[in-house]
Homo-oligomer: A and B are copies of this chain.
Amino acid sequence: MNLNSELLDIAKRARKAAYKMVEISSDLKNHILQQMAKILEEEKEYIKRENKIDLQAAERKGLSAALIDRLRLNDQRIKEMADSLREISRLNDPVGEEIRAWKRPNGLVIHKVRVPIGVVLIIYESRPNVTADCIGLCLKAGNAVILRGGSEALKSNLAIYQVLEKITKKYKLPEGAINIISTPEHKVVNLLLKMNEYIDLVIPRGGEGLIKEVTKNSLIPVIKHYKGICHVYVDEFANLNMAEEICFNAKVQRPGVCNAMETMLVHKDIAVRFLPHMGKRFIEAGVELRGCPLTRKILKGIKKATEKDWITEYLDLILSIKIVDSLEEAIEHINTYGSHHSDAIVTDDYSNALRFLNLVDSACVYVNASTRFTDGYQFGMGAEIGISTDKLHARGPMALEELTTYKYMVFGEGQIRK
């Protein structure tokens, strides 16, 4: 059997499983998630052994220490995976929720009801914990899932999958409910992306290169979790102490994540009062500053920011700074150079706050708070599969509800169209 028909078989089995999974009760799903958490911890020695093979290969290949660290599974990280599954088991089940119901003049009663999407393909790089997280989230939302992890984590991902599969078998989930593609061939991804007849959604989780390649080749709808070029705009009417705390938090608290600030915009009228102390604090915290010409007149000696800086996600202790003439210029800068992820204004002016909220075209817009709150847990939505920078279907934190769609259930008594 060739590779394509093997993959097709997996996709078809997942499709069939998905048709049945809508019927599984929340109680059973939650119990399975709890059991999955338990077995992950019970089988941790096996998982660590398989992980070690990946780690050794990574060392032989000379991967960076940071990458090798992300790959490593220890007792603590396995416990975190298990805890995450337990957490998912405690979240509300979105399937079956009634979004709206109404009665038509002809007596038809229409219910708009949340249902699973069907078959979700997840293509991911990096951390093996994604394997368990995605299985848990997709299962809870009633979806069949096909996983395709990175080659460097092949053994680890497969081990986690095999351990969790014992539970899906024990509780007789439909065959095909959870799937992993473990053949190393690179072309697997492009073959899967053509199977739009059986797969409903693809979520690429990884770097820009991966996301662009998936978008280019996919016949299946894609939800992109793209980069975060997030801004904080310090308005002329800002409380400058608050602005300093928010900007510092947005940049420094965890610089390597997508909701960290990459560019700080400062109104010209408060720049001379705000920037010296703020700049000093950043520099003391080890932040490299890059400024526009006006900024560099106030913060002497910092690097020059170029056009490229405005579109760069540093994911690091680097910050670009621009002084703007007006709220409008700040908004235009954000809409032009940003990634429509998370942006904040610090202001005490009512109308500037509202204009910023309305006119900045981003998934999450903040007044007087740090962009670092864009996160499923922080929003109270629970575990998330990522932060969508797309506008369709899911925008911002993508949690259980965003892993569902809806259908219209229409109750009649013999109505026909006139």
Binding site for B on A (CB under 8 A): 18-19, 22-23, 102, 104, 108, 110, 117-118, 196, 200-201, 215-216, 219, 221-223, 239, 242, 245-246, 248-250, 253-254, 335, 357-359, 361-370, 372-374, 378-380, 390-393, 395-396, 405-417
Contacts and interface: CB of A to CB of B under 8 A. Distances in A.
B335 A19 contact: yes
Given A335-B19, A361-B19, A391-B200, A249 B408 contact: no
A249 B110 CA distance: 19
A363 B216 contact: no
A108 to B, nearest CB: 6
A414 B242 contact: yes
Contacts of A118: 361, 391
B392 A392 contact: yes
Nearest to A239: B414
Given A22-B359, A392-B117, A366 B410 contact: yes
A23 B396 CA distance: 22
12 contacts: A117-B391, A201-B392, A246-B416, A363-B408, A365-B409, A369-B415, A369-B416, A370-B417, A372-B416, A373-B415, A378-B417, A392-B393
Contact of A395 (B245, B253, B367, B407): B407
A19 B359 contact: yes
Question: Could you tell me the dominant secondary structure of chain A's interface residues?
Answer: mixed
A395 B99 CA distance: 13
A8 B415 CA distance: 49
A223 B410 CA distance: 23
A110 to B, nearest CB: 6
B108 A369 contact: yes
A358 B18 CA distance: 12
Given A358-B22, A366-B412, A369-B410, A405 B392 contact: yes
Contacts of A372: 416-417
A338 to B, nearest CB: 12
Among the interface residues A196, A219, A222, A361, which one has the most CB atoms of the partner chain B within 10 A? A361
A239 B393 CA distance: 39
Contact of A364 (B365, B369, B410): B410
A414 B415 CA distance: 56
A176 to B, nearest CB: 14
B253 A417 contact: yes
Contacts of A416: 245-246, 248-250, 253, 369-370, 372
B221 A221 contact: yes
A357 B412 CA distance: 12
Given A215-B219, A249-B417, 15 more contacts: A19-B335, A19-B361, A22-B358, A22-B361, A102-B380, A239-B414, A242-B414, A363-B407, A364-B408, A367-B410, A369-B416, A373-B410, A374-B408, A391-B405, A395-B408
